C-alpha cells in the first residue's frame, strides 16, 4: 500500500503540482473520514485490556524462551547459518511487503560480508540492497543503542541512496515537510485510507515517541515493540519508507526482548503472510479513542505465528543435524552432500539419476556411481518401481 500512496502523493504528477493537497482539501470539505487517533487530546496515552492480551502475551514469551533455549543447544555453525538465513528472510520480506523484490543471493551475501561470515558463493550486491541490509543490521546488531532522530535519518538515507523513490525525487534523511495521505485506486477514483499528522507536528511527535522508546520503564519489550510500530506508523514521518523503518524499529525492540542480536524468527515474513489483516487492523485502530487492544492482539498473534513457524523449522534443522552426526565417520563427496541436503530440505518430486546429474552438473555415469555408493552405505534406498522410473529416497531406517 505504501508504494501506491507515495506514487500518488508526489508533487510532480502529470495532473497537478499539488495532487495530495487537493485530495486532502476535498476529503476534509466532504468530511469523509472519522476522527483519527492523533486528533484526540493526549492521544499517546494508549490503553489496552490486560485480561484480553495476557494469555497470548504469555504464550509469546514462552515460545521465545523455548526457541532460544533450543537454538543454544545446537552447535555454533548451525546457529550462525540460522541467524544468517533469518536476517536474509527479514530483509527480503520487509521489502516484498512494499512490492519490491530483492535478489536472495545478493541480500544473503551482503549480510554475510557485513557479519564477517565465511560463506561460500558470495556475490556482489547492488547499492540499494546494501542500504536495506545496513539498516536492518544496525537495528538488530546494535539493539542496545538509543534510537535517535539522527539514527533514523541514517536508515532513511540508506534506504534511498539515490535520493529517489522509483522515478520520484523525495526528501531523504529528514522528516517530511509535505502532507501525507495513504491512497489506493486510479486517479479520479481514489480511496483515502489514512491522513497522517501535518508536517509541522512531526518534530514534536517524534520527540515524544523516541523519548518513550529509549527510557527504562516497566513495560515489557514485546509490548513496547508493538506500540512503537503502531505509534510510528500513525506519525508516518518520512516521505517514503515508513513501513520498512517501522519494521526495523520492531526488530530492534524484539532483539532487546530476546537480549540477543541473533535472529531466529522473522516478524516481517509473518506480516507479509498476514498483510491483509495487518492493514485492516491498522485502519480500524487508527480511529480509536486511545484503546489499542485490537492492535496488540493482532501483533501478538502475528508474532506467535512467526515463532510457531520458526519452531517447526527448528525441528527440521535439528533432524538434519542429527542425520549428519550419524555420518560423521562416513566418506561423502561434495556432490552427494549437495543432494542429501536437498532431500533433507523437502526435495520436490522423485530423485532420479537424471535429476542428480542435472543438479550436480555431472554425467549420468557419475550420478549412477554416486547413487550406488550411497545405496551400498545404507543412506539411500531404491524405490519399488524399476525401469525408466527408477528413483531413490533417504533410508529412514538405516
Q: What pLDDT shows up at residue 325?
A: 85
Phi-psi sector, 238: left (phi>0), alpha (psi -120 to 50), beta: beta
**Joined grid coordinates for residue 174:** 529528514
Q: Distance (Å, rounded) from C-alpha 217 to C-alpha 231?
A: 17
- Positive or negative: CA dihedral 274, 128, 87, 248: negative
Low-confidence ranges of the chain (pLDDT < 50): 1-20, 23-32
Is it true that 2-319 and 332-394 share their CATH fold? no
Rounded to 10 deg, the angle between the 242-258 and 76-97 helix axes is 150
| Domain parsing of the chain, residue ranges | 2-319, 332-394
Residue 36: the pLDDT is: 94
pLDDT value at residue 9: 40
Buried b (16+ CB within 10 A) or exposed e, 90-100: bbbbbbebbee
- pLDDT tens digits for range 319-346: 887 888 889 899 999 999 999 988 887 6
pTM score, whole prediction: 0.80
| Cell numbers placing 180 | 501525507
131-151 pLDDT tens trace = 999 999 999 999 999 999 999
pLDDT score of 31: 46
Instruction: Give the pLDDT of residue 15.
Output: 29
**pLDDT value, residue 354:** 92
At residue 23, the pLDDT reads: 43
Q: Architecture of 332-394 per CATH? A: Orthogonal Bundle (1.10)
**Is 1.10.3290.10 the CATH classification of the domain at 2-319?**
yes
Residue 192 makes CB contacts below 8 A (sequence gap 6+) with 23, 27, 32, 33, 181, 182, 183
Task: Dig out the grid coordinates for 346 from the structure.
Answer: 523437502
Residue 7's pLDDT is 36
> What φ, ψ does residue 45 adopt, rounded to 5°?
-85, 70
Let me know: does 370 contact 356? Beta carbons within 8 Å: yes
Amino acid at each position: 500500500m505504501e508504494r501506491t500512496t507515495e506514487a500518488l502523493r508526489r508533487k510532480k504528477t502529470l495532473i497537478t503540482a499539488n495532487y495530495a493537497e487537493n485530495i486532502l482539501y476535498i476529503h476534509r470539505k466532504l468530511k469523509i473520514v472519522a476522527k483519527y487517533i492523533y486528533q484526540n487530546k493526549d492521544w499517546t496515552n494508549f490503553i489496552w485490556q490486560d485480561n484480553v492480551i495476557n494469555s497470548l502475551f504469555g504464550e509469546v514469551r514462552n515460545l521465545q524462551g523455548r526457541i532460544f533455549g533450543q537454538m543454544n543447544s545446537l552447535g555454533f555453525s548451525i546457529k550462525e547459518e540460522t541467524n544468517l538465513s533469518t536476517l536474509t528472510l527479514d530483509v527480503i520480506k520487509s521489502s516484498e511487503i512494499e512490492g519490491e523484490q530483492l535478489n536472495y543471493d545478493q541480500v544473503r551475501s551482503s549480510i554475510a560480508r557485513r557479519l564477517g561470515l565465511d560463506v561460500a558463493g558470495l556475490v556482489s550486491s547492488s547499492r540499494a540492497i546494501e542500504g536495506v541490509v545496513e539498516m536492518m543490521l544496525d537495528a538488530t546488531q546494535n539493539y542496545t543503542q538509543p534510537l535517535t532522530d539522527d539514527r533514523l535519518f541514517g536508515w532513511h538515507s540508506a534506504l534511498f541512496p539515490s535520493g529517489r523513490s522509483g522515478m520520484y525525487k523525495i526528501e531523504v534523511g529528514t522528516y517530511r515537510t509535505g502532507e501525507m495521505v495513504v491512497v489506493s485506486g486510479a486517479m479520479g477514483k481514489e480511496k483515502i485510507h489514512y491522513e497522517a499528522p501535518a508536517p509541522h507536528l512531526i518534530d514534536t511527535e517524534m520527540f515524544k515517541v523516541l523519548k518513550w522508546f529509549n527510557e527504562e520503564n516497566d513495560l515489557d519489550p514485546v509490548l513496547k515493540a508493538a506500540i512503537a510500530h503502531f505509534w510510528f506508523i500513525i506519525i508516518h514521518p518520512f516521505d517514503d519508507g515508513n513501513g520498512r523503518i517501522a519494521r526495523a524499529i520492531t526488530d530492534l525492540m524484539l532483539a532487546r526482548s530476546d537480549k540477543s542480536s541473533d535472529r531466529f524468527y522473522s516478524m516481517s515474513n509473518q506480516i507479509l503472510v498476514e498483510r491483509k489483516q495487518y492493514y485492516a487492523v491498522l485502519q480500524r485502530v487508527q480511529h480509536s479513542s486511545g484503546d489499542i487492544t485490537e492492535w496488540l492482539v493482532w501483533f501478538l498473534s502475528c508474532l506467535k505465528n512467526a515463532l510457531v513457524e520458526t519452531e517447526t523449522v527448528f525441528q527440521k534443522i535439528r533432524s538434519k543435524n542429527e542425520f549428519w552426526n550419524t555420518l560423521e565417520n562416513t566418506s561423502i563427496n561434495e556432490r552427494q552432500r549437495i543432494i542429501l541436503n536437498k532431500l533433507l530440505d523437502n526435495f520436490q518430486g522423485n530423485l532420479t539419476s537424471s535429476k542428480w546429474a542435472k543438479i550436480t552438473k555431472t554425467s549420468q555415469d557419475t550420478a549412477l556411481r554416486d547413487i550406488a555408493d550411497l545405496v551400498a552405505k545404507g543412506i539411500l534406498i531404491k524405490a519399488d518401481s524399476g525401469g525408466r522410473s527408477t528413483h531413490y529416497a533417504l533410508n529412514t531406517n538405516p
